[in-house]
Amino acid sequence: CVAGFPPSLVWLISFFAPQISCESLPLGAVGEPDDAMAFKYQGSLAESVSHLCGRGKGILAADESPGTLGKRLKNTPELSHLENVEETRRQYREILVTSETGSCFGGIILHEETLLQSTKDGKPFVEILKGKGVLPGIKVDQGLAPLGEEETVTKGLDTLEERCAKYREQGARFAKWRSALKVTGSLPSRQCIEENAEQLARYARICQEQGLVPIVEPEILITSDYDMARSREVSTQVLKEVVRRLQEHKVDMKLCLLKPQMVMPGSDCPTQAGSDEVAAATLDVFDECLPGDLAGVFFLSGGLTEEQATVNLNKINLLARERYNNAQPWKLSFSFGRALQASVLKLWKGDPSNAPACREQSLALAQANSKACEGLYQPPHPSPSTASLVETFRG
């Protein structure tokens, strides 16, 4: 096998030459946790986590469902003329997959449709990503289902195990499951918090058993008027419950990633918070809720502008460096969707001749956020727009 090689070489061997697999490594070689059950894929999971949490690396979220991407096309004037069919979506995703962002992205989250797609020349997207040293990931939840009149849970647990096994065979090495929690003066309800946390924990456990690193996404929806105090309160309640359920299900936290919202007021709150306040509130909540052995935190952008997302991420890392004396317990990075795609989509306009300019813009956004996850971002930001990216149709 490959025991004794440097981690970077182990990852290359195990991912790009599966016949020389690290899955046969003794579990003790990667530090088997005392309180978690052993996993068949623990060696390769550790290598994937190490790669995703690499210095200056983040994750591009390009896993929008056909319905969500269709609504985004319809609601963007530059794209409203496009028909929401698979070929339109494939052409756009090809731009993202073929951009030279391998130095900035450890992984890209794909929709099931995209995982099997190829370039116009017939080269599978998964192979393109492998060539760039980018891990393919997969969205495994199947959307939202009602919980009472105003809240939701997430669908897809009943078929998750078999789908995870299939996705791994198709090249995926990590996964994402999103819950969505609405915030008002009385919401989310305790039932909503507990049921979504339980689903996230069951999902994470299944993923690890099937060889996929789980990204746990308890999204606290920004489309409301709640203030910073309410944001801190809800974030604390949700993250504490999620962590408790993950530990109950014996999810290995060293092989698990969290994708939370930054702690900030709702988009309709009359008093918005600056990046200093967002950074302090976010780390305060993390200090209270997150275990030190969690592998990494990859923030969602959640409606922030492209520039706001970068500036906030940069400030969080600057504060973390100071607060933890350059020894912060978690990787603090990005898993942005809209904040890495909005200006690229508008620039594309569905015109193939715009693809080179789109790739340049994709790279510029990736580089800005790569610097921000090290606290090294400096303006000006490459985004040409300061328009809000809040979407009310995602639930």
- Which of the following is catalytic: 57, 139, 259, 346? 259
CA proximity to 361, closest of 375, 381, 386:
381
Judge whether 120 counts as a catalytic residue.
no
DSSP string, 215-228: EEEEEE---S---H
Per-state percent for the chain, helix, strand, coil, to nearest 5: 45, 15, 40
Vertex 383: Cα angle to 367 and 311 (nearest 5): 65
Q: Which residues of 41-74 are buried (b: 16+ CB within 10 A; e: fewer)?
A: bbbbbbbbbbbbbbebbbbbbbbbbeebbbbbbe
Query: By the 8 A CB rule, do 223 and 268 touch?
Result: yes
Distance CA 55, CA 240 (A): 27
Q: What does the block give as tokens for 77?
A: 């004037």
Which DSSP category does 118 fall into?
A: B
Distance CA 104, CA 371 (A): 9
Query: By the 8 A CB rule, do 44 and 211 touch?
Result: yes
What backbone torsions phi and psi does residue 62 show, to the nearest 5 degrees?
Answer: -120, 40
Q: What's the burial of 128, exposed, middle or buried (CB within 10 Å: 0-12/13-18/19+)? A: middle
What backbone torsions phi and psi does residue 146 show, to the nearest 5 degrees?
Answer: -65, 145
Distance CA 261, CA 134 (A): 24
Query: By the 8 A CB rule, do 256 and 291 touch?
Result: no
**Where in the sequence numbering do the catalytic residues fall?**
259
